[in-house]
Amino acid sequence: LWKISLMFLLKYCSLDHAMLMGTKHLMTFDGKIYDLASKCSVLLAKDFVRNTFTVILNEETSNSRSLYVEMNRTV
């Protein structure tokens, strides 16, 4: 089912955003799809020019995730 939804998104949505799909899939700003199979931290988005925001997904266990958001150096 998620593959049908993914095909719809790729066809009809602009690629000016990224998204997490379900619990294990990520679509990047350039439309690439990744499976998040391991327990790790993933840099989802960051302003490398002005350093005004950072978004990181942390997966500690298969049932435990946290989202770290920093804006203007404030968590």
Instruction: Decide: pTM greater than 0.85.
Output: no
pLDDT in tens, 33-71: 888 777 788 888 899 999 899 988 888 776 777 888 999
How far is residue 7's CA from residue 50's CA, in Å, rounded to a whole number? 34
Residue 71 tokens read as 């804006």
pLDDT in tens, 9-26: 556 555 567 777 777 788
For 40, the 3-state DSSP assignment is coil
Q: Which residue in the block uniquely carries the two structure tokens 């990520």?
A: 26
Q: Is 22 exposed, middle or buried (0-12, 13-18, 19+ CB in 10 A)?
A: exposed
How far is residue 33's CA from residue 52's CA, in Å, rounded to a whole number? 26
